[in-house]
Amino acid sequence: MNALEVHDLSFAYGARQALSAVSFSLAPGRFAALLGPNGAGKSTLIALLTRLYDLQTGDIRVGDHSLRDAPRAALKQLGVVFQQSTLDLDLSVEQNLRYQAALHGLSRRQTDLRVEAELARQSLTERRREKVRELNGGHRRRVEIARALLHEPRLLLLDEASVGLDPASRLALNQHVRSLCLDQGISVLWTTHLLDEVQADDALMILHQGRLVASGQVDALIQAQGGDLGSVFARLTRPTATGAAA
Ligand code: ADP
């Protein structure tokens, strides 16, 4: 069973077509990068995935649940780290996690177990009593990842998670998330506009003007298209005269 299936997804803001017949799937334990220039439709896709917007055409399945037919079950399989942090800066690391566990309706015992496990997994155990305000950007992101994984989702979605981090923290975060895929079998959908956050054996989807213009493993795409990732990306996302999805 795939961790994520996006099937024939289209979405329009009034007359403005933002996504056109987008389909792809993501296998369990895969790190997938979603790339696209500004206006490509990434935010729209994420808004549909997280159910900020209702689906118009097509469907999204997370695990074996359809977002259209069983939205609650589908969303339970999804952990999200949004671009804008929503942590409470004046609560401690642990308090932020416990608050989220309460929102998920976890029992006291489950909360203790899950908070402990995620603090350890994100190497945050020693910082559990620090206020989030005192943490650097990279550690704050780890708290958000811990929070997104508390309910043990199958798929972790990170929307431009490395924005605002210095280069070393950016790399460390990217490596850390990759280790979650390798060690825990979690699937990751990582949206970015930075090509250096993508590796040869990643799954890659490139969106351009609302259409999926490439999907597959990075090294296979490069081999098929020639050049390097930068030139493949530039070729596939060249602006057209209309600037809009057909
Ligand atoms: P990205 O996140 O890749 O920059 P978006 O999903 O934000 O792309 O945008 C896709 C297209 O939809 C663009 O043409 C954009 O102008 C348009 N769009 C996005 N949000 C809205 C909105 N709220 N109303 C109208 N058009 C929108």
Digit-by-digit pLDDT tens for the chain (246 residues) are 899 999 999 999 999 999 999 999 999 999 999 999 989 999 999 999 999 999 999 999 999 999 999 999 999 999 999 988 899 999 999 999 999 999 989 999 999 999 999 999 889 999 999 999 999 999 999 999 999 999 999 999 999 998 889 998 899 899 999 998 888 889 999 999 889 999 999 999 999 999 999 999 999 999 999 999 999 999 999 987 554 444
As given in the structure block, the two tokens for residue 138 are 């990279």
Among 43, 209, 237, 242, residue to substitute to test ligand 1 (most atoms within 8 Å of Cβ): 43
What pLDDT does 83 receive? 87
CA Rg value for the chain = 18
The C-alpha angle 207, 81, 74, rounded to 5 degrees, equals 80
The residues facing 19 across adjacent strands are 11
**With the CA atoms of 183, 187, 189 and 192 taken in that order, what torsion angle do they form, in degrees rounded to the nearest 10?**
20
What pLDDT does 242 receive? 53
**Does the Cβ of 192 fall within 6 Å of ligand 1?**
no
Closest atom, ligand 1, to C-alpha of 245: 14
Residues of the chain with CATH 3.40.50.300: 1-77+154-246
**Does the Cβ of 211 fall within 6 Å of ligand 1?**
no
What pLDDT does 243 receive? 47
State pLDDT tens for residues 69-88.
Answer: 999 999 999 999 998 889 99
As given in the structure block, the two tokens for residue 180 are 């979650």
What pLDDT does 245 receive? 45
What pLDDT does 239 receive? 83
Exposure string (b/e) for 185-222, b if CB count within 10 Å is 16 or more? ebbbbbbbeeeebbeeebbbbbbbbbbbbbbeebeebb
Contact assessment for residue 27 and residue 39, using Cβ atoms and an 8 Å cutoff:
no
Identify the three-state secondary structure at position 92: strand
At position 176, the amino acid (one-letter code) is H
pTM exceeds 0.85, yes or no: yes
**Does the Cβ of 44 fall within 6 Å of ligand 1?**
yes
Task: List C-alpha distances in Å: 178 to 33, 77, 146, 188, 208.
Answer: 11, 19, 14, 8, 25
**Does the Cβ of 39 fall within 6 Å of ligand 1?**
yes
**Does the Cβ of 36 fall within 6 Å of ligand 1?**
yes
CATH of 1-77+154-246, one of 3.40.50.970, 3.40.50.2300, 3.40.50.300, 3.30.70.20: 3.40.50.300
Q: If you measure from the C-alpha of residue 211 to the centroid of ligand 1, how many angstroms do you get, rounded to a whole number? A: 13
Q: If you measure from the C-alpha of residue 45 to the centroid of ligand 1, how many angstroms do you get, rounded to a whole number? A: 10
